[in-house]
């Protein structure tokens, strides 16, 4: 009975939020999934129409409803363009949770989320073991991109081109840090995120290099876990709650001025979704609400707080620049540009490198098509959206495409690699870190 009451409460919350939608169709004009499929059920308006009958759908075709609700990138483009201010992402997250609670998780997702992701130490051990054997069954795909493919597993993972797991993850190189504030007078909590940790430790190293250069103290507690968004996006509230509790307890051990991440998805999750989805009347809810105003993307912190400016606007132009990558263009991660309105700061950070010439690509803020679990469940559709992003990158004439999200980097590198495009994929913090001579 308590579970039924909880489900009824969730459905009521969703129902109350749906009334704001006027069915105007503005979401249809901007939805990257609808652009590919032309299916009204794939756009926010169509999904909201479905959710208005969610209680009925749960009795008649719960699995079908879940499939339709999950066919969404959660990019937030619809919410950013909604004239009524409908909280679409919040509605979809709550709906997915309600449907998953009613139906249950598939055996595969149960293994991934409850068996692995929910247990940080177990997850780290499994990934580290996998890194030792990852060349078995895979082959080099594109030497320029450093990608691999797995033709033997194409029936499961498609024809993806992917970066191998890091030989040494970031958390092994830097298990923890707790350094005092330097000349900046500031101390930050640092949340690297899963992809930085396990696939792109060079991003985390670039962040630490920059913090040291600017005299910023760093608190990075040992044993950090995933921010929880992969589980929550699949409706798995229990794992999300566990990961939030775990991370909140770690970061509560030290005071800090800002909580910084180099991942657009992690930033949006910690800043918006942690306080929104945390259980009511809990210490986690209180902490999430306290930390939300302090949570920032690394580029926003450097530009807005530390006042880093483009090279031509300051003495930074005379800095020792190691990077001479020619022309750089920038892809706006959806969670950063649309959810957090952070757009100019990453560009300023690129321009702070005097060795770079920045060029804007057309449609820089259109979704790359990754969408986390969307990419896993709808790879062909994800790839179609990614190929459109590839075309705009090529049209820019840039030598390097930069972005602020490791997940976007995975998607962009995949589509570039499959076409053997000789364009570098880098995080903006790496480009800025190249202007700094000393290392940690």
Three-state SS for 189-258 is: EECCCHHHHHCCHHHHHHHHHHHHHCCCEEEECCCCCCCCHHHHHCCCHHHHHHHHHHHHHHHCCCCCCE
What per-residue confidence (pLDDT) applies to 321? 43
| Stretch 274-296: mean pLDDT | 96
Q: Which residues contact 142 (CB under 8 A, 6 or more apart)?
A: 161, 416, 417, 418, 420
**Which of 58-67, 209-218, 248-257 is predicted with the least confidence, judged by mean pLDDT?**
58-67
For 265, the 3-state DSSP assignment is: helix
Token pair of 195 as six digits: 């992809």
Q: Which residues contact 1 (CB under 8 A, 6 or more apart)?
A: none
**Phi, psi (rounded to 5 degrees) for 191:** -115, 100
Q: Report the run of H or E that residue 112 belongs to, with start and end.
A: none
End-to-end CA distance of the chain: 56
- pLDDT at residue 381 is higher than 60: yes
What per-residue confidence (pLDDT) applies to 62? 85
Comparing 83 with 154, the larger pLDDT belongs to: 83
For the chain, where do the domains classified as CATH 3.40.50 start and end?
A: 170-301, 309-433
| Mean pLDDT taken over the chain | 90
Enter the CATH code of domain 170-301. 3.40.50
DSSP string, 38-70: --GGGSHHHHHHHHTTHHHHHHH-HHHHHHHHH
- pLDDT at residue 294 is higher than 80: yes
| Stretch 89-113: mean pLDDT | 91
| Stretch 343-360: mean pLDDT | 95
Token pair of 41 as six digits: 């059920």
What per-residue confidence (pLDDT) applies to 154? 64
**Phi, psi (rounded to 5 degrees) for 24:** -75, -25
| Angle ∠(100,65,8) on CA atoms, nearest 5 | 55
Give the β-pairing of 177-178 and 217-220. antiparallel
For the chain, where do the domains classified as CATH 1.10.1060.10 start and end?
A: 2-104
DSSP string, 375-431: HHHSHHHHHHHHHHHHHHHHHHT-SEEEES-HHHHHHHHHHHHHTT---EEEEHHHH
Exposure b/e, 354-370, CB count within 10 A at least 16 = b:
bbbebeebeebbbbbbb
Residue 202 neighbours by CB distance under 10 Å: 16
What per-residue confidence (pLDDT) applies to 376? 86
**Phi, psi (rounded to 5 degrees) for 402:** -110, 155
Enter the CATH code of domain 2-104. 1.10.1060.10
Domain 309-433 belongs in CATH node 3.40.50 = yes
Comparing 62 with 166, the larger pLDDT belongs to: 166
Looking up tokens 């995949």 gives: 414
Distance CA 84, CA 93 (A): 19
Distance CA 48, CA 72 (A): 12
Comparing 428 with 55, the larger pLDDT belongs to: 428
**Which of 144-158, 233-247, 281-295, 369-383 is predicted with the least confidence, judged by mean pLDDT?**
144-158
- pLDDT at residue 237 is higher than 90: yes
- pLDDT at residue 315 is higher than 60: no
- pLDDT at residue 316 is higher than 50: no
Q: Is the separation of the CB atoms in 239 and 114 below 8 Å?
A: yes
- pLDDT at residue 4 is higher than 90: no
| Stretch 246-271: mean pLDDT | 98
């Amino acid at each position: 009975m308590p579970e039924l009451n909880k489900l009824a409460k969730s459905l009521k919350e969703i129902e109350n939020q749906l009334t704001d939608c006027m069915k105007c169709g503005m979401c249809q004009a901007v939805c990257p999934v609808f652009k590919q499929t032309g299916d009204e059920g794939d756009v926010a308006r169509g999904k909201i129409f479905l959710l208005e009958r969610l209680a009925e759908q749960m009795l008649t075709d719960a699995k079908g409803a879940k499939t339709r609700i999950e066919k969404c990138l959660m990019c937030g483009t619809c919410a950013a363009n909604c004239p009524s201010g409908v909280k679409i992402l919040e509605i979809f997250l709550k709906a997915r949770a309600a449907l998953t609670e009613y139906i249950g998780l598939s055996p595969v997702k149960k293994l991934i989320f409850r068996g692995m992701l929910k247990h940080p130490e177990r997850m780290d051990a499994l990934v580290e073991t996998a890194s030792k054997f990852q060349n078995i069954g895979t082959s080099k795909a594109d030497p320029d991109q450093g990608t691999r493919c797995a033709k033997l597993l194409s029936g499961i993972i498609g024809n993806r081109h992917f970066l191998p797991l890091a030989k040494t993850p970031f958390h092994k190189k830097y298990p923890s840090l707790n350094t005092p504030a330097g000349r900046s007078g500031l101390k930050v909590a640092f949340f690297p995120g899963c992809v930085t940790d396990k696939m792109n430790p060079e991003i985390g190293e670039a962040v630490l290099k920059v913090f040291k250069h600017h005299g910023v103290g760093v608190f990075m507690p040992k044993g950090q876990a995933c921010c929880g968004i992969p589980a929550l996006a699949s409706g798995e509230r229990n794992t999300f709650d566990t990961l939030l509790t775990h991370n909140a307890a770690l970061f509560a051990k030290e005071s800090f001025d800002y909580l910084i991440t180099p991942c657009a998805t992690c930033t949006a999750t910690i800043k918006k979704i942690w306080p929104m989805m945390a259980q009511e009347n809990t210490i986690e809810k209180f902490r999430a609400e306290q930390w939300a105003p302090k949570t920032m993307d690394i580029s926003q912190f450097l530009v807005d707080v530390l006042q880093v400016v483009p090279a031509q606007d300051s003495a930074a132009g005379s800095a020792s620049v190691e990077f001479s990558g020619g022309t750089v263009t920038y892809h706006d991660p959806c969670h950063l540009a649309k959810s957090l309105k952070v757009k100019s700061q990453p560009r300023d950070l690129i321009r702070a490198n005097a060795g770079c010439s920045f060029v804007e690509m057309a449609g820089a803020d259109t979704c790359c098509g990754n969408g986390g679990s969307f990419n896993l469940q709808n790879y062909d559709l994800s790839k179609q959206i990614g190929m459109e992003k590839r075309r705009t990158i090529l049209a820019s004439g840039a030598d390097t495409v930069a972005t602020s999200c490791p997940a976007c980097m995975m998607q962009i590198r995949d589509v570039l690699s499959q076409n053997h495009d000789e364009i570098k994929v880098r995080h903006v913090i790496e480009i800025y870190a190249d202007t700094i001579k000393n290392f940690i």
